[in-house]
Amino acid sequence: MARRSKLARVAALGLLGALTLSGCSVDQLFAIGWPDGITDEAELMRDLWIGSGITAMVVGVAVWVLIAWAAIRYRKRGNELPRQTAYNLPLEIVYTIIPFIIIAGLFFYTVTVQNRVQQRSDDPDVTVAVNAFKWNWQFVYPDTTDANGGEPVSTVGTSTEIPILVLPVDQTIRFELASADVIHSFWVPEFLFKLDIIPGNENGRDNVFEVTVREEGSYVGRCAELCGTYHAFMNFEVRSVSAADYEDYIDAREDGLTTFEALESIGQEGTATTTRPFLLDRQQQSALQGD
């Protein structure tokens, strides 16, 4: 018993030392590399991931302990054949019920988080229409009107310009996704969420989701579905700003300023900072290398 207690203390000290040296919290340890995310929905998914990881570790340790106990307790002690048991009904019931309870628990919490992540409010603060096409993005703010009147403010990416999607923090944002051609996928890694954009279901039940961004900053966005030759070129940037800066940005766009000019007017970089356009042909690449 004394030896076991000593080993337990050594293991605990080793774990504490590893956490201290790595600078990781217990939460980060169990996240196993899962990013933090910048939305309320991302927090829910992170908690689900950590809970599932802890459950898996507990089950794994229990299995290892039982294997070690069985190997030691019933190891060969001589040439005499041990008593043979064909059935053990109580044991079979136990190892049938316990996995069922674990699976049912994981299923319940998974569905709960999924429903919360896909939940939609009756009146979101901001609505953005995202139009995907080969091979770029258009972001439309349908509740606005540009300087020419009649058309809403929008930003369209080109082969030489990364489109920037400007969003306010601490507000409910609804995305209504549509595809002009094939299946694309709207993915912002810091959202910890992506949604495939199915053609023919524009702004329908399956192409809509909401998030609440909690951190200001610049975050890369990508198409996560192989959609053709220039799939890798379909990058965009999410620029999350304060609610006041967002209102100023929209006002500037409605007054006729470009995306670049409107961002500069609120003290933001006018061009994307997290990604850049790809060169479209070898001649351009050779020219750049020659410079």
Q: Is the pLDDT of residue 204 over 90?
A: no
Q: Region 82-100: what's the mean pLDDT?
A: 84
Residue 85: is its pLDDT beyond 50?
Answer: yes
Length of the chain: 291
Q: What b/e readout covers 273-286, taking b as 16+ CB neighbours within 10 angstroms?
A: ebeebebeeeeeee
Q: Given pLDDT bands bounded at 50, 70 and 90, which one contains residue 245?
A: very high
Q: How confident is the model at residue 26 (pLDDT cuts 50, 70, 90)?
A: low
The tokens describing 17, both together, are 């030392």
Domains along the chain? Answer: 21-70+89-119 (no CATH), 126-276 (2.60.40.420)
Write down the pLDDT at residue 164. 94
pLDDT at position 86 is 77
Measured CA to CA in angstroms, residue 120 lies from 116, 142, 184 at distances of 9, 18, 22
- Residue 21, pLDDT score: 46
- pLDDT of amino acid 287: 44
pLDDT at residue number 237 = 94
The pLDDT assigned to 9 comes to 55
Please state, rounded to an integer, the average pLDDT across all residues of the chain. 83
Q: Would you say residue 14 has pLDDT above 80?
A: no
> For residues 124 and 282, what is the distance between their CA atoms, to the nearest angstrom?
45
Task: Tell me the mean pLDDT in the region 109-114.
Answer: 91
Q: What is the pLDDT of residue 147?
A: 73
pLDDT of the residue at 249 = 94
Phi-psi region of 267 (alpha: psi -120 to 50; beta: other; left: phi over 0): left
The pLDDT tens digits for 118-171 are: 888 888 999 999 999 999 999 999 988 877 777 898 999 988 889 999 999 999
pLDDT of 288: 41
The reported pLDDT for the residue numbered 46 is 87
Please report which confidence band the pLDDT of residue 51 belongs to, taking 50, 70 and 90 as the band edges.
confident
What percent of the chain stands above pLDDT 70? 83
Mean pLDDT of 206-218: 89
Q: What is the pLDDT of residues 252-288, one digit of tens each?
A: 998 889 999 999 999 999 898 988 887 666 544 444 4
Q: What six digits make up the tokens of 229?
A: 């030759």
CB 66 within 8 A of CB 74: no
